[in-house]
Structure 1
Amino acid sequence: MRLRHVIAATALLGLLGVPAHADEGRDISRDTLPANDGWAAADGGTTGGSTADDAHVFTVRNRSELVRALDGGSATPKIIKIAGTIDANTDDDGDHLDCADYATDGYSVKKHLAAYDPRTWGSAKPSGPMEEARRASAARQAERVQLAVGSNTTIVGLGDDAVLKGGSLQVKNADNVIIRNLELRDAYDCFPVWQPNTGGLGDWKTAYDNLWLRGATHVWIDHVTVSDKGHPDEKEPTYFGRNYLRHDGLLDITNASDLVTVSWSRFADHDKAMLIGNGDTATGDRGKLRVTLHHNEFESLVQRAPRVRFGQVHLYNNRYVVPADAHDYRYSLGVGTESALYAENNAFHTPGHIEVADLVKSWNGTALHQSGTLFNGFPVDLLAIYNAYNSASERDLTADVGWTPTLHTKIDSAEAADRAVARGAGAGRIP
């Protein structure tokens, strides 16, 4: 076979999502988590799909190829390389699906709003034909956008422009997963549910996180960029006096997930960014939810960066940026029930109307170790200032979290880490 025929055949195989044997540039697909790099390095470490045979190394360019490569969340060692932009809201022929394509049984936003307007419906939970139509429509979207990631899997983006948009990667009851060098964008819920009694005023509840770990263990997330890019919630309308939310979390780690490292990633332009532990009564999370967050950038977020329940979370060398027009900012570090946050050498940049004490909020939590914190370039004692300013409205926090991290990379000064993260965090920036 002539060389040009070989090249053409190779290109065709790639388009079909069949096993790939080569990559552009440095091949990171068989990288494993370095020793001591956070909690995911414990108990044997995290190797993902690094042992995959050639038959289970795939390059994928659309949703159908990605679904075939994921193989229903199977535990077979596999490496999945994402090339270009994959839209999860597409049919089997690759044609884009919008919210109207998923709607069924007579559902429309207008009809749903009319049916459950609190002025006529009251405060009861929505029920009846229009709510059933919403649920059926939501199920049609979920079938397309929820993507199960199984054990022993590595997912990497090729080059500096790999994107999964509209999808919700879900690592459920799986072990040994690596996700790197990938932009995860706009997990957009077409069919939010109205919850009339939430927060006293009611609120809209959405279904999809860009990345959701549920009962997952040994997970390394590295150099990913996660945001609402394309459909920011702040531009959505207001219904029943509440913002019509379309997005849930950027990254949620719940349901006794354990041994997770999130490194050199960027979380941006979102409300509730990262939840670790999903309920105050989820006592099965005790002893789990051990998570390391290092060298990440949290920019233009309202809250949950992260909010923690139960877990032992090591938070070091991260960069926080609150923009000047962030009038809805609530907090960054949420200290929840039985949580134990160990924060070292993190840098915060905020506008003048945000004070040091605003960076932390206690959600029935009692423990926060902090050291080496920089606030707008100045060293501060985050814990002491929080206790001084919030003792009247929230309980004091103690520095004794009951543990000291031993699994970590070199911990730089907050100033040095701040510069490094600004240059190097996010997809397309693996050195």
Structure 2
Amino acid sequence: MSLLLLLVVLTFSKCKKGSDAANPENPLTQTETNLAATSTTSGVKSLETFTIASDGGFAYKIYDVPGTGDSGSQPTISTLKVFENGKELGPAHSNHAEIRSLGKGRYSHWLNSLYISASDNSDPRTNGRKYTYSLDGSTSSVVTPPVTNPIVPPVTAPVESGAIIGYAMVDGKTTGGTGGQTIVVTSYAALKSAVSSNTAAIIKVSGKITGTGFVSVGSNKTILGEKGSSLEGVGLLMYGTSNVIIRNMTIRNVVTYSNIVIKEGAHHVWVDHCDLSSDRNHGWDYYDGLLDVGNRADYVTLSYNRLHDNHIPMLIGFGDNNTNDIGKLRVTVYKNYFYNVSERQPCTRFGYMHVFNNYMQNGSGYGIGVTMGATVRTDNNYFENQQYPIYTEFNAKPGFVSGASTNIYKGSGANKISTAASTWVPTYEYKSELIPAANVPAVVMANAGATLTL
């Protein structure tokens, strides 16, 4: 079991699916958070979730801590050190009553539990600080958990002009409704009927379609938005289906669900040149995200989309406990434009994600979140006015990042990457599409969104 990372900064929401089309999840309460300690005893370890609970007053108790704890016969045998944002707390071996009544960083490693207090007696579960520990006297705050070997996709043919790039064309192809009937829809009922079967079809959306909830999209579909068309309040759901293309769609203000959700083993999906938005006037809980991928979904490409006016626009991996996502969630994210958002540009767990040539502008929190052992390659992205462009140190575990030095960080804070640099790169061909990071804002703003003439 592993030890403790106490939740992230309150200004950042936990990278967790608040609700989705099939199985809404309740928000994590602040009364109890899960924590655990790694069994490895060398070096400084990040605090990962398993179990933490209030022990009264200023004291908080963490269970299942490794190493030899103090006891009645050996009251100072523990070698455990605790750090808050890299600064050692103390005194260690404190009396438990004093931890509760006085706090101020006092802690005690007693038997197999750890009793701690924050340096200013705030709640360590919600104060946004990073807590680490060591058992061997280490004091370095750099966390370097082992990197698992990446899943390497097969090499594909060179990219053709205008072709789909990335994972939607790996281990199969995404062709959508090619060869099927073309259907023009102008109403909610017509759209719902046209996309419901698994028969190949090309559906063109014309005019403004208004409704609530979501429309379930069957396999072998291409959904194209004609000029000036939009879905108002209606989301698109790929639930276990495959071979779907969604292009040039404008989708706004979907309440309860994300505008587009790809989940439950859905695979080979391409979302391209869409305009997805809500607003940030209703608070974090009113709308969900804009474009979400999770629950064993795989082989997805998200390109040239505008995601804006939303707190949590793109999430890949819905929960820390969804370990069945390991080996899946292979997603390519390129030339998307994120603006007027808070975080998740995108945030990911578990999978292998390639993020290149995206423009992240004026996000109030973190840009790319990389957690739960996910592996992310970044190439030539442009971060502008982001507090933390790339952030690994939240949720239960950090993830791994390669290519961070290829990006431009304008008016942004430093990355918060707590793991050693990964060497992973995707093996499909994408270099013919890659442009210099300095050119990204102009190219992406001119081309992303529902700009196609179809």
- Scaled to the shorter chain, the TM-score interval is 0.5 to 0.7
Matched to 1:291, the amino acid is: V
Partner SS for 1:371: helix
Partner SS for 2:248: strand
Distance of 1:341 and 1:282 partners within structure 2: 18
Distance of 1:267 and 1:33 partners within structure 2: 25
Give yes or no for the alignment of 1:285 onto 2:325: yes
- 1:180 alignment counterpart: 247
Distance of 1:247 and 1:282 partners within structure 2: 23
Distance of 2:221 and 2:429 partners within structure 1: 23
- 2:438 alignment counterpart: 415
- Say if 2:401 and 2:422, in contact at 8 Å, map to a contact too: yes
Give yes or no for the alignment of 1:371 onto 2:416: no
Shift of 1:46: 0.5
Kindly, what percent of the aligned residue pairs are identical? 33
Partner SS for 2:179: coil
- 2:6 alignment counterpart: none
Partner SS for 1:69: helix
- Say if 2:204 and 2:225, in contact at 8 Å, map to a contact too: yes
- Say if 1:158 and 1:181, in contact at 8 Å, map to a contact too: yes
Partner SS for 2:438: helix
- 1:153 alignment counterpart: 221
Give yes or no for the alignment of 1:299 onto 2:339: yes
Shift of 1:401: 5.1
Q: 1:346 to 1:418 in 2, by over 3 A?
A: same
Distance of 1:220 and 1:244 partners within structure 2: 27
- Say if 1:372 and 1:413, in contact at 8 Å, map to a contact too: no
Structure 2: tracts of 5 or more residues without a match: 1-159
- 1:212 alignment counterpart: 261
Partner SS for 2:311: strand
Q: What TM-score, normalized to structure 1?
A: 0.63
Q: 1:186-215 deviations in whole A, cap 9, x for unaligned?
A: 002xxxxxxxxxxxxxxxxxx311100012
- Say if 1:35 and 1:41, in contact at 8 Å, map to a contact too: no
Matched to 1:399, the amino acid is: A
Distance of 2:238 and 2:164 partners within structure 1: 23
Matched to 1:217, the amino acid is: H
Q: 1:175 to 1:358 in 2, by over 3 A?
A: closer
Q: 1:200-233 deviations in whole A, cap 9, x for unaligned?
A: xxxxxxx3111000121000100000000xxx24
Shift of 1:181: 0.6
Distance of 1:186 and 1:62 partners within structure 2: 17
Matched to 2:337, the amino acid is: E
Shift of 1:404: 3.5
Q: 1:209 to 1:36 in 2, by over 3 A?
A: closer
Partner SS for 2:342: strand
Distance of 2:429 and 2:301 partners within structure 1: 10
Q: Among 305, 310, 314, which residue is 1:274 paired with?
A: 314
- 2:379 alignment counterpart: 344
The equivalences for 1:98-117 within 5 A come to none
- 1:133 alignment counterpart: none
Matched to 2:418, the amino acid is: D
- Say if 1:33 and 1:220, in contact at 8 Å, map to a contact too: no
- Say if 1:33 and 1:45, in contact at 8 Å, map to a contact too: no
Greater helix content: 1
Q: Among 396, 399, 404, which residue is 2:426 paired with?
A: 404
Q: Among 51, 59, 78, which residue is 2:179 paired with?
A: 51
Q: 1:341 to 1:430 in 2, by over 3 A?
A: farther
Partner SS for 1:65: helix
Determine which structure has more spread, i.e. the larger CA radius of gyration. Answer: 2
Q: What TM-score, normalized to structure 2?
A: 0.60
Distance of 1:418 and 1:260 partners within structure 2: 24
Give yes or no for the alignment of 1:37 onto 2:165: yes
Q: Among 176, 190, 193, which residue is 1:65 paired with?
A: 190
Shift of 1:372: 1.8
Distance of 1:68 and 1:181 partners within structure 2: 20
Partner SS for 2:393: strand
- Say if 2:383 and 2:389, in contact at 8 Å, map to a contact too: no
Distance of 2:161 and 2:168 partners within structure 1: 8
- Say if 2:296 and 2:328, in contact at 8 Å, map to a contact too: yes
Distance of 2:377 and 2:335 partners within structure 1: 15
Q: Among 319, 334, 353, which residue is 1:313 paired with?
A: 353
Q: 1:292 to 1:244 in 2, by over 3 A?
A: closer
Q: 1:11-38 deviations in whole A, cap 9, x for unaligned?
A: xxxxxxxxxxxxxxxxxxxxx9955611
Distance of 1:149 and 1:222 partners within structure 2: 16
Partner SS for 2:270: strand
Distance of 1:421 and 1:430 partners within structure 2: 17
- 1:362 alignment counterpart: 393
Shift of 1:361: 4.2
Shift of 1:331: 0.7
Q: 1:349-390 deviations in whole A, cap 9, x for unaligned?
A: 21xxx55x454243322311123211228xx9x9xx43xxx5
Q: 1:58 to 1:404 in 2, by over 3 A?
A: closer
- Say if 1:316 and 1:345, in contact at 8 Å, map to a contact too: yes
- 1:164 alignment counterpart: 231
Matched to 2:319, the amino acid is: G
- 1:3 alignment counterpart: none
Q: 1:325-359 deviations in whole A, cap 9, x for unaligned?
A: x7xx2211111101001001001221xxx55x454
Distance of 2:436 and 2:203 partners within structure 1: 36
- 1:115 alignment counterpart: none
Q: 1:150-173 deviations in whole A, cap 9, x for unaligned?
A: 1000000112x1101101210000
Shift of 1:402: 3.9
Structure 1: tracts of 5 or more residues without a match: 1-31, 90-144, 189-206, 237-242
Distance of 1:64 and 1:362 partners within structure 2: 45
Shift of 1:400: 1.1
Cα RMSD, aligned residues only = 2.3
Matched to 2:214, the amino acid is: Q
